[in-house]
Chains A and B, each alone.
Chain A
Amino acid sequence: MLYRECGNFKDNYAKDMAIFPIPLDRWGLGIMLVFAFLVIPFTASDYWLSSIMIPFYCFSLAALGLNFLTGYAGQVSLGHAAFMAVGAYSSLILYGRYGIPLVPSILGGGIVSAIVGSIFGIPSLRIKGFYLAVSTLAAQFIIEWVLTHWKWVSGGVFGTIDVPNLYIFGALLDTPLKKYYLVLCIVALMITFGKNLVRGQLGRNWMAIRDMDVAAEIIGVSLFRYKLIAFAVSSFYAGVAGALITITYYGAANIEEFNLFLSFHLLGMIIIGGMGTILGSFLGAGFMVLLPIFINQSMLTFMERVPSNLRANSEAIVFGGLIVFFLIVEPYGMARLWHTIKEKMRLWPFPY
């Protein structure tokens, strides 16, 4: 048992406040990074890279964005798929129509999405819970409508923009491997940034608002400021995720991909994975991406006669069932289950 805090004393607060204060967490992260950067790219097939790993990273990023807003700051959003769409469309417009380089275009998409997200976040200053959920639902519909009906956006064909050839620093981004690396680099940087945000003053203020908003404001947290920042950061992450998944996986910005179901799915991901944790966003997204594959495979192997429409539905049934399970049994999701195991090991062998 190496994973423990006993006998691992910190002699100053700087060390206690390091991003991962426990050595094994740091190693664990190191191993994961090596795995993601060096092992997966050279062992996984093109299919795995482009159809599983890339969507997994992108959905993790989007789920993380929603987690900032919902898990940390305690505000609901049913419009996050639409914020992803805003990022997707605007990054393609920046890249394809205005010839802005790829990475700035992707980030630009995120910024446009952040602006749109903060505008739709304004009602959160007045309303909470169910009513806020309904008003973000309106965001989903309004954005969908605008993106399909505003001719300027698609510049011709309604509602879709094809992804042109992608160049980064003059090199053509053509193979799944190159796209994988693009996505991985951006996602890794944004996770580090996000992890720092939530463990610092911003994250604490978000959680304070989530846990007790009136007290938070009296203590000195500006609800106006921090709620709007939550909406902005959250939609920035969603927007970048939408841009990335569109250019590296879907191949065209298409509003169909970003419908209300995806908004619900994102919410499901953070419920299953874990509200208010970074890890939870990944567990939830991984789960969502792998579940259909797993169900399909097992049905193919074990129940060859299952009709395909039942297979499709079984996915929704399992997913829905799990959401209910986690909401009732473990509201903090898979990340908390993992955390509980860690806490047990952390103080081992002296659990008091």
Chain B
Amino acid sequence: MSQKTEPILQMEAIEISFGGLKALDKVSLQVYPGEIMAIIGPNGAGKTTLLNVINGVYTPDNGRIFFDGKERPLKIKPHHVAAMGISRTFQNLALFKGMDTWSNIMVGRTKKMHAGFFSQGIYWGMSQKEEIEHREAVEGIIDFLEIENIRKQPAGMLPYGLQKRVELGRALASEPKLLLLDEPMAGMNLEEKEDIARFILDANEEIGYTIALIEHDMGVVMDICDRIVVLDFGNKIAEGTPDEIKSNPKVIKAYLGEAEGGGE
């Protein structure tokens, strides 16, 4: 799947530390258009931190980041990153709890909406046209994720698995060039995991989205990903296809070492 063309995202020697702790130590990686890439590693390896660097939540101390062929500053506002075409779901539930499902997803389209303040206030002309147009797109996502029956329910009241699914919808809504998923299946039962895995595969194969995801469930990772990057204590210790990673001694050691320490 991964054509070795120009990467859509390229990170070079990214370094960031919190106090004395080096959360990322000269990490370099590329994401290629059209692939599903997994970032794996034991707890505290720096996976979420890496996504936060991409999103502009954290500013790395060193390194370079290129997106879509252009270098971007290390310090950047997260919503500018969104505007560049990077979308994201979160490890911990991060829906807008007081809003219903379709409104949550609609927020994902905010960067595509341009009606001015007064047009919105009188709900006439551009704003009305835009609301209806984008609502239709959102309904498409609702159909895709099979959540028609909860479209008007407050997100905060939904069961955990559905909240994760709505969050995926919100990220898809921006039609991103790169979709970042932080443990999209954590805490789900087998059936829910299979559903999400299917949606991720469909989003990749049918709509053509480029996806980078973090996941602890090795079974799923091996099944759906084209390429895997392994982090451990802030270092990239391996990179390759699922088969290469499975037999990589460093990876086995990192995971076994963690198992001995009583981790996951």
Contacts and interface: CB of A to CB of B under 8 A. Distances in A.
Contacts of B230: none
Interface stretch (A131-139, A147-155, A214-222): A214-222
Interface of B: 55, 57, 77-79, 81-83, 87-88, 90, 94-99, 103, 106-108, 110-111, 113, 115, 117, 120-123, 127-128, 130-132, 135-136, 139, 170-171, 174
Contacts of B127: 196, 200-201
A210 interface: yes
Main secondary structure of the interface of A (DSSP, over half): helix
Contacts of A201: 106, 110, 113, 115, 120, 127, 130-131
Interface residues of A, number: 32
A17 B132 contact: yes
A276 interface: yes
Given A215-B90, A218-B88, A220-B110, A17 B135 contact: yes
A205 B120 contact: no
Contacts of B57: 214, 218
Main secondary structure of the interface of B (DSSP, over half): helix
B49 to A, nearest CB: 14
Contacts of A14: 128, 132
A6 interface: no
A219 B120 contact: no
B98 A276 contact: yes
B94 A207 contact: no
A324 interface: no
Nearest to A224: B77
A201 B55 CA distance: 22
A193 B103 contact: no
Contacts of B77: 217, 222, 224
A202 B96 CA distance: 15
Nearest to A5: B152
Contact of B99 (A193, A196, A197, A208): A208
A216 B90 CA distance: 11
Interface string A190-201: 000110110011
Given A196-B120, A200-B120, A212 B95 contact: yes
A121 to B, nearest CB: 16
Contacts of A4: none
B100 to A, nearest CB: 10
